[in-house]
Amino acid sequence: MTSPASTEGRALRVVVVDDATVIRESLPALLPDLDFTGSFANVEAMLRARPEADVVVLDLHLSNAGQPNARQGVAAIRAVTAAGYRVCVFSQEERRFVLAACLAAGAHGLVSKAAPTARLEQSLREVAAGEVVIPPAVIGLVEVLVRRNSLTILSDRQRHVLSGRARGLTYAEMSGRLHLSESTLRGYWAEVTRNVSEHFQRTAPGDLEHALGLGPGDLLDYWPEPLPPGTPTSPQRTDRWWRLGRTR
């Protein structure tokens, strides 16, 4: 449903969903190499229009006085991914459990609104190419899960790459230390991120709470219910996640 699109010979097609008009109108100007095929204030409008897009730039907080019932948070992510789009969350959200919950809901990338424009463009291209873009805060969380045997399917090489990324090392720096080419390391990292994304989507919050040393129920305000294998995504399953903007 959300397979990467081939952009050979044409500009990357992007749709932006953000309740802030200034974001919707400024992104095309800031990223002139991308083809913005639509901009919407909420997910519902976008899903009605069904624009062609290789990646959807999605804000997490879409509810406001003008659209109080707009779907937002992980509910919005699941709705968009269920429609077959690849989603890159573009938000000011910094809480790592919330960001991890976005991956659990099916997001393919997470980029902070504080990030430089060039990084946003790079992340969108990576998401469109089938990769999963994970921010440093969540990479650290993943390392904890691996160390505490919650995430056990990574190979030694994948663990080494994860360890380097968790410490902020670039591929060039890791290449010197691990004596592997940068492209090889990128390949390992792509496998890690796909495994992580799947693990987040399939693991019960209780298991994650246990692995992370959290109290029972600490993740309930953030985490979507896990999807059994083969279960189609349904936005109705996550209606309560409109409360995402609430602070803990």
Partner 1 sequence: MSAPAPGGDRPPSERVGPTRTGWGRLSGVGNETEPATVGAGVKVPTTAAGTDRAFALLILGMRLGTVVQMAPSLPQGLSESPTRLGYLLVWLLAAGTATVVSVVVWRSGRPLSPRWYLVDAAICSLVVLLGLVVVPEQVRLGTWVGYQPAYALSVVCSGVAVRSNRAWLAALVAVVAADVAYLLPTLSTDTAATLLGNVLTLVVLAGVGRWVALYIRRIAEDGDRARAQALDLGRREEERRAQLAIHNGAAVIRMLGDPALDDRARFMLQEEAQREARRMRSYLRGRDHTDPFLSASGAAPAGPVSLPHAVGRVCDRFGDLPLHATLDLADTVVLDDTAAEALDHALASVLLNVRDHSRAETVVIHADAEEPGGDGAWVLTVHDDGVGFTPDPEQLGVGLREVVINQLRPHGMEVEVSSTPGLGTTVTISGRVVT
Q: Which of 23, 82, 129, 169 binds partner 1 (CB under 8 A)?
A: 169
Tokens 């659990």 belong to residue: 104
Closest CA to 161 of 174, 149, 151: 174
Beta bridge pairs of residue 35 = 13
Give the binding range for partner 1 (CB under 8 A) out of 13-21, 32-40, 142-150, 178-186. Answer: 142-150
Residue 141 binds partner 1, judged by CB under 8 A: yes
The distance of closest approach from Cβ of residue 55 to partner 1 in the complex, given in angstroms and rounded to an integer, is 21
Q: For residue 92, which amino acid is it?
A: Q
The distance of closest approach from Cβ of residue 12 to partner 1 in the complex, given in angstroms and rounded to an integer, is 22
Q: Which of 50, 167, 202, 243 binds partner 1 (CB under 8 A)?
A: 167
Work out the angle at residue 16's Cα, subtended by the Cα atoms of residues 234 and 6, and round it to the nearest 5 degrees: 80
The distance of closest approach from Cβ of residue 40 to partner 1 in the complex, given in angstroms and rounded to an integer, is 29
Q: How many CA atoms lie within 13 A of 232 on its CB side?
A: 6
Nearer to partner 1, 52 or 173 (CB): 173
Buried b (16+ CB within 10 A) or exposed e, 142-152: bbebbeeebbe
Say whether 22 sits in a helix, a strand or coil: helix
The distance of closest approach from Cβ of residue 148 to partner 1 in the complex, given in angstroms and rounded to an integer, is 9
Residue 104 contacts residue 201 (beta carbons within 8 Å) = yes
Residue 30 binds partner 1, judged by CB under 8 A: no
Give the binding range for partner 1 (CB under 8 A) out of 45-53, 81-89, 141-149, 236-244. Answer: 141-149
Nearer to partner 1, 186 or 237 (CB): 186
Residue 69 contacts residue 62 (beta carbons within 8 Å) = no
Contact residues for partner 1, defined by CB under 8 A:
114-116, 119, 135-137, 139-141, 143-144, 147, 166-170, 172-173, 212-213
